[in-house]
Amino acid sequence: MFRVKKTKIPTVILKDFQKFASGYTKVHKEPDGPCVKTEIPGPKSKALFKELSDIQRALVNRPALGVFPGIDWPQKLRDVLLSVAPKGCNQVMTMMCGACSVESAFKAAFIWYCTNKRGGKTTFSDEELKSVMDNKAPGAPKLAIMSFKAPLLQGAFHGRTFGALATTRSKPIHKLDFPSFDWPCAIFPHYKYPLEEHKRENEEQDKKSLAHVCELFEKWEKKGIPVAGVIVEPIQSEGGDNHASPEFFQQLQAICASKCAALILDEVQTGCGPTGKMWCHEHFNLPSPPDLVTFSKKMLTGGYYARPEFKPPQAYRIFNTWMGDPSKLILLEQVLKVIKTEKLLDLVQCTGKVLKCGLHELECEFPDKINSVRGRGTFLAFDATSPEMRDKIMGNLKKNGVLGGVCGTTSVRLRPALTFAPKHAEIFLDILKKSLQQIK
C-alpha cells in the first residue's frame, strides 16, 4: 500500500494566501443569504422571456440555452442568425450539429402537420396522451418524411442519427444493421452535361422525378403512412454533387403545398456562401419561402430557420439542454461581418467563373479522363471517367500539393474557402492539368 506524504504549506505562502483572502472578502463581500426583491420570475426576466418567445420557444429555469439563456441571447439571435435568415423565415432554433438540426426540423414538420390535422387545436385527447407512452397511434402517429436518391447507388445525405439516417441514401455502410422507418424515397433528377446541349433530356428528368414524388405521396397515403414533409438538398452533395434546375424546386414546392406537406431544404453543406449566395436555394427564385431550412458546418453552429407557422405551440416540443453553443454565435458574428465587409459572396461568384471556365477547358482537353463539370459559385464538381481514373487523379493531385475531396462513385468535388480568389483558382487549374497529364 502506498502512503501519501502530507505536504506542509510553507509559512510564507500560507501568510500570502491569508492576506489575499482577507483583502478579497473586504472588496467582494459575500451576502448573508438569498435576497429576493421581486416575484420570480421578475419583470426583467418576463420581458426578456417574451422577447425570446417571439423568435423561438424556450423555458427559463436552468443554466443552458434550452431553458436559461443569457440576458443578451435574444438580441444575439437577431443580430447574427436572423440577420442572414432566408427571406420569410423569421423563426430560428439553434442546435449543436447538422444531424440534430435535421432531426429537429422533422419534429417541427410533424408538429405542424398534426396540429393542422387537429384543426389548429393545441390540446391533446386522453387517448393521444395515453397511447403515445406505448409508442402507438394516435399519440404516436404513422407519418413519413420523403427524401431523394440518385438513379445510381448513392443519393441524399442528411445525417447519421436515427430519423436523419432514415432519409440518408448516400452509402450503405451508413445504414447497415440499424432499424429504420418505412419512409419513401424519390428519384432525384439525373442530368447530362453540358446542360445547354441536353436541355430536353434534363427537362424530362425533372418531369420523371416530380411524377415519382406525386406517386409516392399517393402510395404512402394508401399505406396509412402519410407524408408530412419532404427533405431535399439544393445540391445533393455527398451523393455526387447532383443538381436540379430552379424549375424542379419550384414545382416540388408547389407539390408539397398541394399535399399540405412541409418542404425542408437541407442547407447544412450548401449554406453560408459557397454557391455565391448566402443560401443556395436563393438561386431557385422560389415563389414563396421554404418551410424549413437547416444549417450547420460553415455557420459554425447548427439549427434551422422556419416560417412563423412552424413555431411549436407548446414549450419543450423542440428541445435539448444546450440548444447549440452561444460562443459559436460570437465567432459567427465576426465571420458574417468579414463576408459582408470583404464582399466575399461577390468574390465567390468571380472566382467560381474562373474556376468553372478553366474546368470546362480541361474537360475538353482531357475528355478521356474527366467530364460533366457542374456547380454554382465555387461549390463545383466534375466526374472522372471511372472510379479508378478518379483515384489516379486524386493521387496525382496529392503528390502535386493539393488535397481534394470526392463524392458519389466517380465525382471530384471542390470546396474552397470563401476567401479563395481567382489567382488561387489559376494555381489549382495548373496543378490539375499537370495531374491529368501525368496519367498515361
Catalytic residue at 182? no
With a cut of 90, say whether residue 111 has pLDDT above it: yes
- What ranges do the domains of the chain cover? 49-335, 344-437
Contacts of 436 (CB under 8 A, 6+ apart): 362, 365, 366, 369, 370, 393, 396
Give the relative orientation of helices 246-258 and 199-222 as an angle to the nearest 10 degrees: 20
Q: Can you read off the three cell numbers belonging to residue 125?
A: 385527447
Q: Which long-range contacts (CB under 8 A, 24 or more apart) does 27-30 make?
A: none
Q: Which grid cell is 183?
A: 419512409
Read off the pLDDT of each residue in 84-103 and give the average, rounded to a whole number. 95
Report the sign of the C-alpha dihedral through residues 257, 214, 161, 269, in that order: negative
Position 261 pLDDT exceeds 70: yes
pLDDT of residue 16: 55
Task: Give DSSP secondary structure letters for 202-252.
Answer: HHHHHHHHHHHHHHHHHHHHHTT--EEEEEE-SSBTTTT-B---HHHHHHH
d(CA 41, CA 43): 7
344-368 mean pLDDT: 97
Summarize pLDDT for 166-178 with one digit per residue, the tens: 999 988 899 999 9
What is the structure's pLDDT at 315? Answer: 87
Average pLDDT for 396-408: 92
Active-site choice (25, 122, 321, 419): 321
Q: Among 148, 157, 249, 310, which one carries the catalytic annotation?
A: 157
Q: What is the dihedral of CA 74, 324, 99, 144, to 10 degrees?
A: -50
Write out the CATH class of domain 344-437.
alpha beta
List residues bridging with 206 in a β-sheet: none
Determine whether domain 49-335 maps to CATH 3.40.640.10: yes
Mean pLDDT of 393-414: 94
Is 244 in contact with 206 (CB distance < 8 Å)?
yes
**Identity of the amino acid at 155:** G
Strand partners of residue 418: none
**What is the C-alpha separation between 288 and 254, in angstroms, rounded?**
10
Whether the predicted pLDDT of 419 surpasses 60: yes
pLDDT in tens, 299-328: 999 999 999 999 999 988 998 888 888 888
Determine the pLDDT at residue 242.
95
For strands 379-384 and 370-376, give the pairing. Answer: antiparallel
Give the pLDDT confidence of 151-201 residue by residue, as tens digits: 766 789 999 999 999 999 988 899 999 999 999 999 999 999 999 999 999
Which of 175, 297, 353, 433 does the annotation list as catalytic? 297
The per-residue pLDDT for 18 is 58
pTM higher than the cut 0.85: yes
Q: Is 399 a catalytic residue?
A: no
Catalytic-residue membership of 297: yes
Can you state the percent helix, strand and coil of the chain, rounding each to 5? 45, 15, 40
Q: Which residue among 266, 294, 301, 310 is the active-site one? A: 266
pLDDT attached to residue 21: 53
DSSP 244-300: --HHHHHHHHHHHHHTT-EEEEE-TTT-SSTTSSSSGGGGG--SS--SEEEE-GGGS
Q: What is the mean pLDDT of the chain?
A: 91
291 is catalytic: no
Domains 49-335 and 344-437 share a fold: no
Calculate Rg over the CA atoms of the chain: 27
Q: Which of 303, 181, 167 is nearest to 233 (CA)?
A: 167
Sign of torsion over alpha carbons 316, 322, 326, 328: negative
Distance CA(124)–CA(127), nearest Å, equals 8
Q: Which residues contact 369 (CB under 8 A, 6 or more apart)?
A: 384, 385, 389, 393, 436, 439
Highest mean pLDDT pick, 5-9, 14-18, 88-92: 88-92
